Amino acid sequence: MGLFKRKKEAEGDDALRLYYASDIHGTEVLWKKFLNAPKVYDARVLVMGGDITGKVVIPIVQEDDGTWSARLFGGRQEARDEAELDGLERRVRGNGMYPYRTTHAEVDRIAGLPEEEREQWFESVMLHTFGEWIKLADERLAGTGIRCFVMPGNDDPQALEDCIRQGTNVESCDEAVVEFDGYTMLSLGYSNRTPWDSPRELDEDQLYQRIHDLSEQVPDMSRCVFNLHVPPYDSRLDTAAELDENFKMVLIGKEPHMIPVGSTAVRQAIEEYQPLASLHGHIHESPAANRIGRTLCINPGSDYHTGRIAGCLVTLRGDRVVHQFVTG
């Protein structure tokens, strides 16, 4: 039966399954799921494509009577003992935010800091948590033989790279070409310019130049995977709502005005180099797979606030690639 004729070949031993996810934005439960993905999906390579850290710190303030309180989901949450406090912190972490035990006085002090100093304080909270994540990854991946590549995205601080490098079972890949199982992966976590002036952004010509420089280290583009945080421009992987100067969605007819916001440099690089596949994140609301020439471009999107990790299984076989979106 023609429908099943490639079954035997497809299940052959030489196929390599890679699991890709990105944009988990500080959601601890998603990091744990990412680390467990090889067990469920039988993947040999893990790639975290950037925007790993969160955006919000929730102060959990100790009150005079010894209890703790925080504002979460628009309501006041209280913890009367250590067990309840653990539970509260778990809920905060589970929603992509960082819990921070503190006092009213310290909250007032941080609120009064200049923006630059407040960003530094925020970064220290993030890096502490991320350090714990790396330790967890080292524990879980020890002895499994699984290659785990982690790359910061445009929203992540530069210092995240140092944390990744401290891991023993986690490999840094940003601005590098790495090899696995006869394939190469070219990675770059920077994005083009965004309205938010996030920590790792480049102009389009700078972005192109970096990809171009890295591409010279790739021996065979037909066995190369691009891991570029920002998707190519106008590729259906990059459709997002247009924002005005106040970060409000531009609505036309009560509908958000959707526009392509990807990188022209990334598109140009893909068109020129035609790698086997190209993995992207950055635009949460635009999950899609699309071909640019022979290159299969993939953005699994992100639903990080739902506690479910949007990812993609990429099966590599010689110069062929098959993808499967999975939300775990």
Q: CA 50, 310, 75: angle at the middle one, nearest 5? A: 90
Residue 131 touches another protein, criterion: CB under 8 A = no
Q: Is 76 helix (H, G, I), strand (E, B) or coil?
A: strand
**Of the two residues 132 and 213, which places its CB atom closer to another protein in the complex?**
132
Residue 219 touches another protein, criterion: CB under 8 A = no
* Number of other residues whose CB lies within 10 A of the CB of residue 205: 9
Structure token digits, residue 64: 């005079």
Residue 127 touches another protein, criterion: CB under 8 A = no
Residue 60 touches another protein, criterion: CB under 8 A = no
Distance CA 261, CA 269 (A): 16
Q: Which of 137, 148, 211, 309 binds another protein (CB under 8 A)?
A: 309
Structure token digits, residue 152: 């910061």
Which stretch, 33-41, 182-190, 202-210, 268-276, contacts another protein (CB under 8 A)? 33-41
Residue 282 touches another protein, criterion: CB under 8 A = yes
Which stretch, 181-189, 202-210, 215-223, 312-320, contacts another protein (CB under 8 A)? 312-320
Residue 322 touches another protein, criterion: CB under 8 A = yes
Which stretch, 127-135, 158-166, 216-224, 252-260, contacts another protein (CB under 8 A)? 252-260
Helix (H) / strand (E) element for 258: namely strand 258-260
Residue 45 touches another protein, criterion: CB under 8 A = no
Strand partners for 69: 61, 78
Residue 252 touches another protein, criterion: CB under 8 A = yes
Q: Is 201 helix (H, G, I), strand (E, B) or coil?
A: strand
Distance CA 36, CA 139 (A): 12
Q: Under rule CB under 8 A, which residues in 179-218 are in contact with another protein? A: 194-199
Residue 154 touches another protein, criterion: CB under 8 A = yes
Q: How many residues make contact with another protein (CB under 8 A)?
A: 85
* Residue 224 beta carbon to another protein: minimum distance, rounded to whole angstroms: 20
* Residue 186 beta carbon to another protein: minimum distance, rounded to whole angstroms: 23
Distance CA 261, CA 270 (A): 16
Distance CA 47, CA 177 (A): 13
